[in-house]
Amino acid sequence: MYWDHVITNGTLVNTQECYKAHIYIKNGKIAAVSHNLLEGEAAQITDAQNKYILSGLIDTHVHSRDGLQAARYKEDFFHSTMAAACGGLTTIFEMPNTSPAIYNGNILTKSAQYLEQKAHVDFALWGLALGNINIHELAGMAASGAIAFKFFWGYAIDSTTYQLIYNYDEKMMNVVPPLLDGEIYDMFKTIAQTGKQVAIHAENFYLIKALSDAAEKAGLDESYASFLKCRPAEAECTTIRSAIALAKLSGVKLHVLHLGAGDGVNIIAAAQNEGLPISVESCPHYLYLCEEDYERVGPLIKVYPLVKTRRDREELWRGLHEGVISLVCSDHAPHTEEEKAVGLKNSPAGMASVETLAPLMINAVSEGRLSINQLAAILSENPAKLYGLYPQKGSLLPGTDADITIIDPMAEYTIHKEDLHSISKVTPFDGWPMKGRVSQTILRGATIAKDGQIIGGPSGKFIKA
C-alpha cells in the first residue's frame, strides 16, 4: 500500500476515550486507524509520540470582514484563515455581516467562490436573516448551501445596503429599526421550513437604550461598571427568553450565540430539559475575562455582548461542564488598534480571536478545567454534529476527511500579539502564558500549519451544507 501521510505513535482523542494508534491517510481521507504498524510506504510521516491527536478543530463564529466589496483594512479571508490554521483550526464558519451582506443565494454562491481563493482552511457560510427584507430569500440561501441563519436581534439595518447599524438612533434616515416580535416569528417559521438553525445575537436594544438614556441623564461616568449597567446580563436574558418562546411557537431550531450572561445558562437549560432543540455557545473571552480585567486591558475587552462579572464567568464554566453550552467559538471580530484606541464608549466592539480560540481552551485542559475529551467535544464533535457536518468533520473515523489537530500538551509559550497572523492584532490576551500547544494542523491530509507557522498556500474549500 502507498500512503499519502502516516501519523505514528500519537494518542487519539475523541469525546469518550484516549488511545494510542497510527493514522493512515490516502486521497485526503483517513484510510485506516490501527494499533499496529501497517505495511506500505508513506510520502510523509509525522511522529506524534507524546502528542494528542484530535479531529480538526472548528470555529463556527468568525467575522473575517472580507467580501466582494469589503474594506479589507481590518482583516481579510487570507489572513483570518491563516490565523485559523496556525491556531489549530481546520474549518471555520464565516458570519454574513460582510460587504455585501450575505442575504440571498446568489450572493452566497459568489461569496463562496471569491473566498475559496483565499481560504487556508475549509469554510462554511452563514446566511443573514433580515425579517421581511429577505424572508423570500431564505429557502434559496439554504439551497445554495448556507450552513444556518444568523439573526442580529436588536440591530437596525441600512435599508439600501442591508449593513448592520451599530449605533442606531431613531432619528436616522433610510434605516429599518430593530424588528418586532411578529416579524421575527414569521421569519422563524420560514427558517423552520428549511430545517436549519436560526442563530441569534441576543441583546435587547430597547432595554439597552432606556438604560443608556437614563445613564446619560444622570451623568454616569465612563467606567466599565457604568457601561455594564447600560448593557447588563438582563439585556441578554430577556432576548433569550423571547427567542425561546418564539422558537417553541414556530418550531425552529434555535442557537444562542456568544453567551456572556451567566443567568442565561439556567434559562437555556430549562428549555433544553423541555426537549426543545435549543443550543448555545460561549467564547474564551467570557470564560477567561471579567469586568475586573478592564483596568488592565482597557477597551480591548469591549465586545458585544459585554464581558460581565466574575459570577457570570463561573456560571458559564458550569454551563460548559454540564453540557448546556455545547461549543466554544471565537467570535473573531477584528478592528484596528487605532479604532480601538478611542475610549470605551466610542471604540468598536470586537477583538481578533480566531488564532487564540484553541490555544486558550487547550490551556484550560492544562489547568485542569476541562478534560482533553471535553476539548474534542466542544471544538470539534459537537459543532460538527450540530450543523450536520459529522462524521466528515468532527471525527477520526476511517472514510472521513483527514482533518487533524496535533497538540503537544507539555509545550509552554506566551501569546504575543505580534505573532498573530490576522491583520488586526487587537487581543486582550497579549502576554498570557500558555501550557499545551498546537503543534500541527492537517487539512484533508496535508499539513497546513506547523509550530505556529503556515505551510503552503490556500487550499481550503467551501463546505456546501
Burial, 318: exposed, middle or buried (Cβ in 10 Å; 0-12, 13-18, 19+)?
Answer: middle
Closest CB to ligand DOR among residues 22, 150: 150
Is residue 18 involved in binding ligand DOR (CB under 6 A)?
no
Q: Which of 192, 270, 349, 454 binds ligand DOR (CB under 6 A)?
A: 349
Residue 396 · residue 30 · CB < 8 Å: yes
Q: Which does 350 bind (CB under 5 to 8 A by kind): Zn ion, ligand DOR, none?
A: ligand DOR
Q: Is 350 in the site for ligand DOR (CB under 6 A)?
A: yes
State the minimum distance, in angstroms, from the CB of residue 159 to Zn ion. 22
Smallest distance, ligand DOR to C-beta of residue 247, A: 20
Query: CA–CA separation, 312 vs 261, rounded Å?
Result: 6
Residue 183 or residue 339: which is nearer to ligand DOR going by CB? 339
Closest distance to ligand DOR from the beta carbon of 43 (Å): 41
115 makes contact with ligand DOR (CB under 6 A): no
Neighbouring residues of 89: CB distance < 8 A, sequence distance ≥ 6: 56, 57, 58, 59, 121, 354, 357, 358, 405, 441
Which CB, 334 or 394, lies closer to ligand DOR?
334
Beta-strand pair 52-55/404-414: antiparallel
Helix (H) / strand (E) containing 91: strand 89-94
- Residues written for the chain: 465
What, of Zn ion, ligand DOR, none, does residue 349 touch, CB below 5 to 8 Å by kind? ligand DOR
Shortest CB 237 distance to Zn ion, Å: 19
The 122-151 contact track toward ligand DOR, x by CB under 6 A, reads ------------------------------
Residue with cell 482583516: 75
Note whether 25 and 402 are within 8 A (CB): yes
Closest CA to 225 of 213, 238, 215: 215
Q: How far apart are CA 78 and CA 217, in angstroms?
A: 45
Question: Any contact of residue 393 with ligand DOR (CB under 6 A)?
Answer: no
> Going residue by residue from 197 to 236, which x/- string records binding to ligand DOR, judged by CB under 6 A?
----x-----------------------------------
Question: Is the CA virtual torsion 147, 248, 133, 98 positive or negative?
Answer: negative
Instruction: Quote the least distance from Cβ 386 to Zn ion, whole Å.
Output: 17
- Asked if residue 53 lies in contact with residue 396, where contact means CB atoms within 8 angstroms, the answer is yes
Q: What is the three-class DSSP state of 393?
A: coil
* Closer to ligand DOR by Cβ: residue 54 or 303: 303
Mutual angle of helices 205-217 and 233-250, in 10-degree steps = 160
What is the DSSP code string of 332-379? B----HHHHTS-TTTSPS----TTTHHHHHHHHHHTTSS-HHHHHIII
- Judge contact between 10 and 48, C-beta under 8 A: yes
CB of 254 to ligand DOR, least distance (A): 17
Closest CA to 152 of 63, 59, 279: 63
Q: 3-state class of 93 per DSSP?
A: strand
* Residue 401, contacted partner among ligand DOR, Zn ion, none, CB below 5-8 A by kind: none
In the complex with ligand DOR, the residue whose CB is nearer, 350 or 436, is 350
Residue whose CB is less far from ligand DOR, 10 or 154? 154
Can you tell me which of 22, 26, 51, 63 binds ligand DOR, judged by CB under 6 A?
A: 63
> From Zn ion, ligand DOR, none, which one binds at residue 454 (CB under 5 to 8 Å depending on kind)?
none
Per CB under 6 A, 5 contacts ligand DOR: no
Q: Which of residues 300-339 bind ligand DOR (CB under 6 A)?
A: 303-304, 333
State in angstroms the smallest separation of the CB of 242 from ligand DOR. 18
Q: Looking at beta carbons only, is 33 or 349 nearer to Zn ion?
A: 349
**Site residues (CB under 5 A) for Zn ion?**
331
DSSP states of 4-40? SEEEEEEEEE-SS-EEEEEEEEETTEEEEEESSPPSS
Q: Which does 162 bind (CB under 5 to 8 A by kind): Zn ion, ligand DOR, none?
A: none
Phi, psi of 299 (to 5 degrees): -60, -10
In this complex, which beta carbon is closest to Zn ion, that of residue 331 or of residue 355? 331
Residue 189 contacts residue 253 (beta carbons within 8 Å): no
The contact mask relative to ligand DOR for 73-112 (x = CB under 6 A, - = no) is ------------------------x---------------
Residues that bind ligand DOR (CB under 6 A): 63, 97, 201, 303-304, 333, 349-350
